[in-house]
């Protein structure tokens, strides 16, 4: 029995992994046939494996292959069914009249909102009825010109009629960047778009309010109450995030501090939160259950043993809490994991820990195969494994400190592998923040549901913590970053950390710790002397190009600003620069248009040593944030045998008050071997002709 299940789990995980590596799906009927035949094989095997006289290793191999094939085809088939409903290309960018329901609490971004919308019917301007994906993500931006309904009127459960423009999910394809498309896919969203509310559009129209989606409605009501009760928006945002799992409520500056100090995991409803709460409830229920004979006629234990009652209570708590916090993917994952482990315990089977983990991983992948591609999936399984492996070591440390130590030190290489960054102050910050948030702020936030005044206390408590953390984050050595190393180095360092966490002799531990050395010292290969390399980042609109020579780096333009909270600098360039381990020497911001200068602040904040060359006028707001030089034709420099020269604009062009596009700094780069590149910003035909004439 044992080895059958073990190989089934391994096979399932491998089959899912293999399918997710496929660039394209196989034909629909092939996948369907695959699902059918592998399922038949699996059932046949389960029914007759007792009678098989094959050697054990062959049996194991057989289970492994059949299980892998089943997972492989099931995953493909699910993807295919999902893709059946994708948005037809001809409908992208068209104005559509849609009627449908708001299915979740809208996310607020200042006055604007973003929300999930279940489409019930859609038609083109011509009146033709069209088919849309069942769930889409819509943005609604305030328009002060028209006086239709405003985004704040929108509530979960409402039925609305909108005029919208949609497009298929599209994320930026940058190495080491956030995979927005994958995120949308996992959420079941097959189109994104925005509500049109210009003067010429049909204004949004509320058709009916309803009590459908009552939980989401209730969450939204609680959020309004918190904001009304707590005057301070910043503090209220954190309370809302802790209580409702609405991470968009936390302001970006706060996120920066939380990330730098390694406590960001506390602010999201993580597996840790859910498990901790479930554990607490289990302890209380168990305690009450065992003493039930004191206040009831018969002990409840006769009906259900205390231990089972507490496990059941734990699972129910986890489900309830996850649902109330928005049933996000990481929370679902935790519920599946917890459910798998508790079911196992209730059944009375004693499995070794690694098999329990593999079982939990299989359950998670059956529920959501795409979790395999998420850092969160790996982080949670690694964290649990490390805690398990390390539970017998470092016995001289008190439990809380030991667990913190294991989490901060042993998870560091894993964090480096996924995020290329690790918080050096995280250990101390967590020692302070974990008990404070878990034992003071979160309970106060929950108490606020009964006594709203508690939300004010929670907000003060978080503000106090914020002051301490900001100070810690401002230390220059708070964060350590290392460029993305090759996979084998990452795997080696993870293996090393497991050895380090195990209760083994010190020389084993030392050698385990030494396995991180290659990762810490890795440097991304650079061009040889006299050569240069261009890296163009994908950022939708506008552009940014990284120029690297053997020792120096230049960034040409910084991409667009997406919204008041996000820009390409923060979303794309900073992660890319961290992953490459770049230290910029110079930034050229070709001109002031926001699709070229939008990310400048984020980039310069992270790379304060870089000098800046730009055509932005000296009275522009951006010039107050960082010292900048004006670019003029004739400026030139040489780095590692590569020649850089500014060809445009002329000194006289600045006096002529040309359009920003026409003033773009034009940079020519030439390698020692004569290869050259021209970066031109947004110059137009007139300037291009001037350049051609100048030769």
- Pick between residue 265 and residue 596 the one whose CB is nearest to Zn ion: 596
Q: Which residues of 662-680 are buried (b: 16+ CB within 10 A; e: fewer)?
A: bbbbbbbbbbeeeeeeebb
- Pick between residue 582 and residue 682 the one whose CB is nearest to Zn ion: 682
Omega into 649 within 30° of 0, i.e. cis?
Answer: yes
Burial of 539 (0-12, 13-18, 19+ CB in 10 A): buried
Burial of 564 (0-12, 13-18, 19+ CB in 10 A): exposed
- Pick between residue 106 and residue 660 the one whose CB is nearest to Zn ion: 660
User: Closest separation between CB of residue 589 and Zn ion, Å?
Assistant: 11
| 119 vs 189: CA distance, rounded Å | 11
- Pick between residue 216 and residue 682 the one whose CB is nearest to Zn ion: 682
- Pick between residue 291 and residue 656 the one whose CB is nearest to Zn ion: 656
- Pick between residue 317 and residue 597 the one whose CB is nearest to Zn ion: 597
| 556 vs 578: CA distance, rounded Å | 17
> For 474-562, where are the alpha helices, taking DSSP H only?
487-501, 506-514, 517-521
- Pick between residue 584 and residue 683 the one whose CB is nearest to Zn ion: 683
Spatial neighbors of 162 by CB under 8 A, at least 6 apart, are: 97, 98, 117, 138, 195, 196, 204, 205
| 497 vs 414: CA distance, rounded Å | 9
Of 223, 275, 228, the residue nearest 245 (C-alpha): 223
How many CB atoms within 10 Å of residue 693?
A: 7
User: Closest separation between CB of residue 593 and Zn ion, Å?
Assistant: 3
| 660 vs 663: CA distance, rounded Å | 5
How many CB atoms within 10 Å of residue 194?
A: 17
- Pick between residue 254 and residue 682 the one whose CB is nearest to Zn ion: 682
| 416 vs 478: CA distance, rounded Å | 14
User: Closest separation between CB of residue 646 and Zn ion, Å?
Assistant: 18
User: Closest separation between CB of residue 662 and Zn ion, Å?
Assistant: 9
Of 312, 379, 368, 370, the residue nearest 339 (C-alpha): 312
User: Closest separation between CB of residue 165 and Zn ion, Å?
Assistant: 23
User: Closest separation between CB of residue 585 and Zn ion, Å?
Assistant: 25
- Pick between residue 408 and residue 615 the one whose CB is nearest to Zn ion: 615
User: Closest separation between CB of residue 681 and Zn ion, Å?
Assistant: 7
Spatial neighbors of 390 by CB under 8 A, at least 6 apart, are: 402, 406, 410, 501, 502, 503
Summarize as ranges the residues that interact with Zn ion (CB under 5 A).
593, 661, 682
User: Closest separation between CB of residue 661 and Zn ion, Å?
Assistant: 4
User: Closest separation between CB of residue 595 and Zn ion, Å?
Assistant: 6
User: Closest separation between CB of residue 601 and Zn ion, Å?
Assistant: 18
User: Closest separation between CB of residue 620 and Zn ion, Å?
Assistant: 14
Q: Could you tell me if residue 250 is left (phi over 0), alpha (psi between -120 and 50 degrees) or otherwise beta?
A: beta
3-state secondary structure of 192: strand
- Pick between residue 38 and residue 687 the one whose CB is nearest to Zn ion: 687
Burial of 414 (0-12, 13-18, 19+ CB in 10 A): buried
Name the one residue in this structure whose structure tokens are 């289970």: 63
- Pick between residue 307 and residue 661 the one whose CB is nearest to Zn ion: 661
Q: Where are the beta strands (DSSP E) in 371-475?
A: 421-423
- Pick between residue 364 and residue 658 the one whose CB is nearest to Zn ion: 658
- Pick between residue 151 and residue 660 the one whose CB is nearest to Zn ion: 660
Spatial neighbors of 160 by CB under 8 A, at least 6 apart, are: 99, 100, 101, 102, 117, 154, 204, 205, 206, 207
User: Closest separation between CB of residue 542 and Zn ion, Å?
Assistant: 8
CB 318, CB 274: distance < 8 Å: yes
User: Closest separation between CB of residue 491 and Zn ion, Å?
Assistant: 45
Cα–Cα separations (whole angstroms), residue 388 to 7, 151, 393, 401, 567: 22, 48, 10, 15, 40
């Amino acid at each position: 029995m044992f080895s059958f299940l073990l190989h089934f789990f391994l096979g399932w995980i491998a089959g899912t992994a293999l399918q997710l590596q496929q660039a394209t799906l196989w034909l629909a009927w092939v996948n369907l046939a695959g699902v059918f035949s592998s399922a038949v094989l699996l059932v046949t095997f389960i029914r007759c494996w007792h009678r098989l006289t094959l050697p054990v290793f062959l049996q194991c191999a057989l289970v492994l292959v059949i299980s892998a094939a089943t997972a492989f085809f099931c995953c493909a088939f699910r993807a295919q069914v999902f893709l059946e409903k994708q948005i037809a290309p001809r409908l992208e960018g068209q104005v559509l009249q849609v009627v449908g329901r708001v299915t979740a609490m809208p996310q607020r971004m200042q006055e604007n909102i973003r929300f999930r919308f279940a489409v019930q019917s859609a038609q083109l301007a011509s009146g033709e009825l069209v088919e849309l994906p069942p769930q889409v993500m819509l943005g609604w931006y305030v328009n002060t010109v028209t006086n239709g309904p405003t985004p704040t009127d929108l509530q979960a459960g409402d039925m609305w009629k909108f005029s919208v423009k949609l497009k298929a999910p599209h994320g930026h394809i940058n190495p080491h960047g956030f995979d927005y498309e994958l995120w949308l896919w996992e959420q079941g969203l097959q189109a994104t778009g925005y509500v049109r509310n210009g003067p010429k559009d049909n204004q949004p129209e509320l058709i009916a309010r309803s009590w459908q989606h009552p939980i989401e409605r209730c969450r939204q009501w609680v959020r309004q109450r918190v904001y009304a009760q707590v005057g301070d928006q910043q503090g209220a945002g954190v309370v809302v995030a802790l209580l409702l799992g609405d991470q968009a409520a936390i302001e970006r500056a706060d996120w920066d501090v939380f990330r730098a100090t390694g406590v960001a995991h506390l602010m999201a409803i993580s597996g840790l939160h859910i498990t901790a709460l479930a554990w607490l409830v289990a302890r209380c229920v168990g305690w009450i259950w065992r003493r039930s004979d004191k206040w009831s006629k018969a002990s409840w234990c006769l009906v259900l043993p205390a231990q089972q009652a507490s496990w059941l209570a734990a699972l129910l708590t986890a489900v309830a809490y996850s649902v109330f916090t928005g049933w996000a993917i990481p929370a679902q994952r935790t519920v599946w994991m917890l459910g798998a482990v508790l079911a196992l315990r209730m059944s009375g089977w004693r499995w070794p820990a690694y098999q329990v983990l593999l079982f939990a991983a299989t359950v998670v992948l059956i529920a959501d195969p795409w979790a395999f591609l998420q850092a969160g999936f790996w982080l949670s399984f690694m964290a649990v494994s490390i805690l398990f492996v390390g539970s017998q070591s470092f016995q001289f440390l008190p439990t809380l400190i030991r667990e913190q130590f294991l989490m901060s030190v042993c998870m560091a290489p894993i964090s480096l592998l996924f995020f290329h960054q690790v918080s050096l102050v995280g250990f101390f910050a967590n020692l302070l923040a974990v008990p404070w948030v878990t034992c003071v702020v979160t309970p106060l936030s929950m108490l606020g549901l009964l006594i709203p005044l508690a939300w004010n206390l929670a907000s003060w408590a978080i503000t106090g913590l914020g002051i301490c953390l900001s100070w810690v984050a401002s230390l220059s050595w708070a964060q350590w970053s290392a460029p993305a190393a090759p996979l084998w180095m990452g795997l080696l360092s993870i293996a090393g950390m497991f050895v380090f966490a195990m209760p083994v002799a010190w020389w084993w531990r030392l050698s385990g710790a030494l396995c991180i050395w290659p990762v810490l010292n890795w440097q991304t290969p650079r061009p040889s002397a006299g050569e240069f390399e261009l890296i163009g980042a994908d950022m939708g609109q506008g552009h940014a190009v990284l120029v690297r020579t053997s020792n120096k780096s230049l960034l040409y333009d910084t991409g667009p600003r997406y919204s008041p909270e996000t820009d390409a600098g923060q979303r794309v360039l900073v992660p890319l620069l961290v992953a490459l381990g770049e230290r910029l020497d110079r930034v050229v911001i070709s001109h002031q248009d926001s699709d070229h200068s939008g990310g400048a602040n984020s980039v310069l904040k992270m790379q304060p040593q870089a000098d800046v060359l730009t055509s932005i006028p000296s009275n522009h707001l951006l010039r107050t944030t960082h010292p900048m030089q004006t670019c003029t034709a004739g400026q030139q420099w040489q780095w590692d045998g590569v020649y850089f020269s500014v060809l445009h604009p002329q000194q006289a062009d600045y006096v002529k008050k040309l359009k920003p596009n026409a003033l773009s700094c034009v940079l020519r780069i030439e390698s020692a071997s004569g290869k050259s590149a021209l970066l031109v910003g947004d110059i137009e035909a007139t300037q291009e002709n001037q350049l051609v004439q100048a030769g």
